Amino acid sequence: MAMNPVINRAETLKVLRNTLIGYLNLGINEVEFEKHKPNKHKSKKHLLTSLMNEVFNCRKCPLYKGKKNYVFGEGDTDASLMFVGEAPGYYEDVDGKPFVGKAGKLLTKIIKAMGFERDNVYISNILKCRPPNNRDPLQEEIESCLPYLKRQIELINPEIICTLGRFAAQTLIGTDVTISNLRGRIFSYKRRKLIPVFHPSFLLRNPQHKKETWEDMQMICRILGKEIEKNG
């Protein structure tokens, strides 16, 4: 037999009333009550830490055998902008941090030109281990590691994902279109905007494409409602 909704509401109000009276009788004031409310930010950090520990124990593909350090990712866990590259390089493997070599320094410069600090954004990669001799990621390696990145994205929940280079863009978009034909456009990734740009290492080899990348970054800033100088 279905219960009367009026009785359900009455019972619910009664429980809430008795709970409030209980708090008052215990001398718990409004400020102290706030202290006992769940801390969502702490919960997110806890979940990311658990995910990081899971990555640090990963044996899904052979890359873990040759790596010095897993490179999980770093930055603001509440960032509105998340950068995703393809894989750690030599310096990232040594330090255990993403984008710290020459390409990383250029990325940091770009981030600052956008009006951010590295601590204001989140940076990660498709792969968490360095491929031997910085070779391109293999499909089986991507398939093994991609679930970790997807969970990072869900937890951080950025407004915009900026993919750096061909592999990151093609993997998240699900296409084999070249990065030259992907950049400058806005895609959708699970209710979020995804904007592909050239990889910083490509820009170091082809500085003539920096202008296009700066145009892409200006587009990102406009979407985020952030004003920047016209010339980066």
CB 33 within 8 A of CB 22: no
5 has a pLDDT exceeding 60: no
pTM of the model: 0.80
Interval 213-222 mean pLDDT: 97
* 35-58 burial code (b ≥16 CB/10 A, e <16): eeeeeeeeeeeeebeebbeebeee
20 has a pLDDT exceeding 60: no
pLDDT of res. 230: 54
For the segment(s) 40-223, the CATH number from 2.30.40.10, 3.40.470.10, 2.60.40.1890, 3.30.390.30 is: 3.40.470.10
Q: What angle do CA 178, 60, 96 make, to 5 degrees?
A: 75
Interval 71-84 mean pLDDT: 97
Domain ranges of the chain: 40-223
CB 68 within 8 A of CB 148: no
pLDDT band at 227; cut points 50, 70, 90: confident
Give whole-number Cα distances, 77 to 47, 109, 123, 137, 177, in Å: 11, 21, 10, 26, 31
pLDDT per position as a tens digit, 123-166: 999 999 999 999 999 999 999 999 999 999 999 999 999 999 99
